[in-house]
């Protein structure tokens, strides 16, 4: 994962949201809430987790296969970025 302060802050914010969702789900289960609202909370958690996974995956792909610091237009740097975008589009579709 990229280690810029913005990327870390975004990831931590997502994790805190997931943590809050997990705590709310635990309270709902303890309170004996009906299955439909529980399933809705689980789906929301899964979406948040998949969003975090996509973000980390994209960062990893860009670090591993991205333009590697080359300006766009030199030695196929834009091709690398387009390839990463294509892979991420497929992964995001799968993670939905």
Higher pLDDT: 84 or 74? It is 84
The pTM is what?
Answer: 0.72
Mean pLDDT score, 7-27: 94
What is the tens place of the pLDDT at every residue in 40-66?
Answer: 999 999 999 999 998 888 888 888 876
What is the tens place of the pLDDT at every residue in 18-43?
Answer: 999 999 999 999 999 999 999 999 99
Fold of the CATH domain 5-95: Methane Monooxygenase Hydroxylase; Chain G, domain 1 (1.20.58)
Evaluate the CA torsion angle 13, 40, 42, 94 in order and state its sign: negative
Q: Where are the alpha helices (DSSP H) in the chain?
A: 5-31, 35-65, 77-95
Domain ranges of the chain: 5-95
Give residue 16's pLDDT band: very low, low, confident or very high (50, 70, 90).
very high
């Amino acid at each position: 994962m990229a280690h810029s302060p913005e990327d870390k802050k975004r990831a931590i914010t997502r994790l805190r949201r997931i943590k809050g969702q997990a705590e709310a789900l635990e309270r709902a289960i303890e309170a004996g809430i009906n299955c439909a609202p529980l399933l809705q909370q689980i789906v929301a958690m899964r979406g948040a987790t998949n969003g975090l996974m996509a973000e980390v995956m994209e960062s990893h792909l860009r670090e591993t296969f991205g333009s590697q610091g080359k300006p766009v237009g030199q030695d196929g740097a834009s091709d690398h970025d387009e390839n990463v975008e294509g892979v991420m589009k497929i992964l995001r579709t799968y993670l939905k």
